[in-house]
Amino acid sequence: MHTQRAGNALAAFSFVLWGILPLYYQFLPRADINDLLALRIVFSIPFMLLVMLLLRRPFPKASQIWQDKRSLMMAGMAGLIMCVSWYAFTWAITHDQVLEASLGFFINPLFAIALGVFFLKEKLSKAQSAAVILGIVGIGYQVWHYEELPWISLIMGSFFAIYGLCKKHIRYDALTSVTLEAVILAPFALAYLAITYVNQTSTALSVDISTLMLYIGSAPVTLAPLIFFALAISRTSLTMVGLMQYIEPTLQFLLAVFLFGEVFDQVKAVSFGFIWLGLLLCSLEALSSLAMRRLRTS
């Protein structure tokens, strides 16, 4: 019981950290996203190695990693996919589009459900089916009124769901997997930084030291919640983690509307409302299933 409570607390804390990330990026308005992504990849490696050292999780030997070539390939693919989702997220929160980022994470579970049906042959419950339909209606309503797709939200939500699907096929532990994702992409990130530095087109490498440190700091601030999330997974149920994941986009939504002053008009209210209703149905179903399991075991 104490282990599960600790797991719940770790999971909640990880989602709170993710939720308040826009506060950090307010110090990097209109940041060069390419430089930001490259520096994040490079400095993720020493940060992750330090975390593994502190947690006494030895990094596997190269021979052990090479034995599972499928997981190694999937880790590289997962890293690339995460780059797309992270790129869209970072662009949104550095260009006054935090509401778009929030919407992306709210619709992510709907993409995850769809991927589960198509690739893992999972069957939809009534609540999940209703959530998918309501999500489509919500996005459709926004498209109808604005006459354009919410591309940032859709890219974030879909690619993060695909990232989760890739992770299901990786047999390394969570910390090793995240570290490998950065290691595989690091040569490309270093090559990009070297080329832009030589050509004097790099923004991050030509700014003052304090701004450069903010660019580099994007690695630990984005990886810290991932560490707490990885520690939580082994201590609590996936149902609880699934329910608590809405902490993140909710905090981002509140920051966007009440702190950053982004416009939350009638169209967005209706669109979000349909999506929230679908997520509420899924949450109530998950809570009901959890209560039933506890009754059976008590």
Give the span between the Cα atoms of 65 and 169, in whole angstroms. Answer: 14
Give the span between the Cα atoms of 11 and 245, in whole angstroms. Answer: 8
pLDDT computed for residue 274 by the predictor: 92
State the Cα torsion 93-179-55-86 to the nearest 10°. Answer: 10
How big is the chain, counted in residues? Answer: 298
Question: How does 190-205 read in b/e, with b if 16+ C-beta sit within 10 Å?
Answer: eebbeebeeeeebbbb
Closest among 87, 66, 45, 62 to 219, alpha carbons compared: 45
Residue-level pLDDT, tens digit, the chain, 298 residues: 567 778 778 888 988 999 999 999 988 888 899 999 999 999 999 999 998 888 888 888 888 898 999 999 999 999 999 999 999 999 999 988 999 999 998 888 888 888 878 887 778 788 888 888 998 899 999 989 888 889 999 999 899 888 888 888 888 888 888 899 999 999 999 999 999 999 988 888 887 899 899 999 999 999 888 788 877 766 776 566 666 778 889 999 999 999 999 989 999 999 999 999 988 888 888 778 777 777 777 6
pLDDT computed for residue 174 by the predictor: 81
pLDDT computed for residue 218 by the predictor: 92
pLDDT computed for residue 2 by the predictor: 62
